[in-house]
Chain A
Amino acid sequence: MLKFLPYILKTLWRHRARTLLTFSGAAVSLFVFCFVVSLQEGLDRLTSQSDSTLVVFQANKFCPATSHLQQDYDQVIRKLPGVSEVVPIQVFTNNCRASLDVVVFYGVPPQKLRAVRDFELTSGSWAEFENNQDAGIVGQAVARRRNLKPGHRFSIGEVTVTVAGIFTSENKAEENYIYTHLEFLQRTPGLNLVGTVTQHEVVLESTADPSRVAEQIDERFRGGPIQTDTRTKGTFQAASLADLVELIGLTHYLGYACLGLMAVLILTTNFMSVQDRIREHAVLQTMGFSGSLVFLLIMTESVLLSFAGGATGILAAVAVLANAGIAVSAEAVSLALTPSFPLAAIGVGLSIAIGVLAGMLPALAAARTEIVPALRAA
């Protein structure tokens, strides 16, 4: 087949404008498709997050601004069997609804942060964070969006923090948050939050049964002044993003539609290319090209076009996803759009599959060309 590559490539180049348009169409299709899949992957990452962490929230409340639990619940929860660590967290966000550029502050006891998060600082220092009341460490994605560097001061409403460091995490969603001291957020002017927190994050022992412990926690506070609603972190995040989950389900169809569009585009191009060359294929067959060889030539053309266009779209999507730090957030939970190897692999696989599918009929038509009538047709 390699011997025929110059012919195939030159054929694709024969109608440059048409080839480039089809190529671009394939690229755009895969670009959009990658975004859709990345959205789904981001959601899956959040909702499937380890069962071994529970989030305790005020019952029947949704936005973090409305959930107020006693901070000292942590002492009670800590004593329950199966619990290994409890972190009281105050959440502050500038926007509770689904939005793209949400700023979320998580106030935690500074000495506990490193125990429950895998953060690595790319600049700044932990000491700076731990020793200053108004210090915050900023996720890489926020830092990039807001152009923040250590030493900068950053305000949202009444909250002003000094950037002590920028962190990265295996969990890309975390890179959309800012972590501060718990006390600092509780003392936000205008909010009377001292002694209360938004939620408690409960780290379980590996042997504990998450739903069992969750029940026990809610049971324990049922009679108390404030009732709780405890869920695994995955379920909690899925509930926070509930509105988005449906939307993301819809975008799936958008992704498939893009692939369908690409298939039709390549099919059309292939048919045009074959129709242009009825005589040429008859000449090739006269020379001794078999029907199956002509079939293979057209298929190769189709797959090359589809693959090249698709791969370009995938590369572009991966580049944008890796560098733009895009995230959708709702109720202080962020869904990060990041590239992944499976994403790229699926994209490449689909590009090739579409090339094969869209090549089939035109290639068959070309392979079945009756030589003499094709030569006689002027």
Chain B
Amino acid sequence: MLIEIRNLTKQFRKGEETIKPLDDVTLDIDRGEFVSLMGPSGTGKSTLLNQIAGIDRPDSGTITVAGTEITSLSRSRLARWRAENVGYIFQTHNLIPVLTAYENVELPLLLLPFDRAERRRRVQIALEAVDLVDRASHYPRQLSGGQEQRVGIARAIVADPTVVVADEPTGDLDTATSNQILDLLQRLNRDLGTTLLMVTHDEQAAEIAGRKLRLNDGRILEAEHSLEPAGSQADRK
């Protein structure tokens, strides 16, 4: 298993009451899977995603990714681990406004031991994957919403991470653009074998995933598998 989540619990205190978005969650995700995570707003989808992405910590339980138990890493080692292993696609693209599309995509590579030429090569590939080579020198404000999100996706995949997480990546986009983005994510999973975990509350969006999960009352429910089982995608990589 690529990702092993064991007995994960996370709770927040809201004034008097305590809410428990994650209550003893146990879940495995295989390499090359495309998993969608659904559920009504406020159920804890983002909270789970953030645990897997290593930007938040559980109250108890463990997460092991490719053999590394990330829940026990120090703050700085966890940062290093994220640089090498996680691509994060935000709902609002969160591009750096003063950097060009090219520079935004290059940013995660600056943390890794790549020389200039290697960085250039990788950025090129990532921009090709999202079909934005001709927009490389544009600034975010010169791009459309869909293009911005595609730059965000390129930035998430450029370092060839172990897992890519996406938190409602189409939440801010119109239907047509959403479909483009979903197509793109599907292609990345299918053609590059990227392991993808996507949070969405859009049933239709969830459909494109090979495996559909639902979060309810702090617990994960496995929806029926789609026709193509997740395992076969893993084999292809």
Contacts and interface: CB of A to CB of B under 8 A. Distances in A.
A288 B80 contact: yes
A151 B65 CA distance: 90
A10 B98 contact: yes
Contacts of B81: 288
| Chain A interface helix/strand/loop/mixed | helix
Contacts of B80: 288, 290
Given A6-B103, A13-B98, A291-B79, A286 B111 contact: no
Contact of A289 (B53, B79, B97, B98): B79
A131 interface: no
Interface of B: 50, 53, 55-56, 75-76, 79-84, 86, 88, 90, 94, 96-99, 103, 107-108, 110-111, 155
A293 B55 CA distance: 16
A288 B56 contact: no
Interface residues of A, number: 24
| Chain B interface helix/strand/loop/mixed | helix
Contacts of B82: 286-288
A7 B83 contact: no
Interface of A: 3-4, 6-7, 10-11, 13-14, 279-280, 283-293, 371-372, 375
Contact of B96 (A7, A13, A286, A293): A7
A285 B103 contact: no
B90 A287 contact: no
B96 A287 contact: no
Contacts of B84: 288
A290 B107 CA distance: 13
A283 B56 CA distance: 13
Contacts of A286: 53, 55, 82, 86, 88
A123 B90 CA distance: 74
Contacts of A291: 75-76, 79
Given A279-B94, A288-B111, A372-B55, 11 more contacts: A7-B96, A283-B90, A283-B94, A285-B55, A285-B79, A288-B80, A290-B80, A291-B75, A292-B76, A371-B50, A375-B55
Contacts of A288: 79-84, 86, 108, 111
Contact of B56 (A280, A290, A372): A372
B181 to A, nearest CB: 19
B2 to A, nearest CB: 19
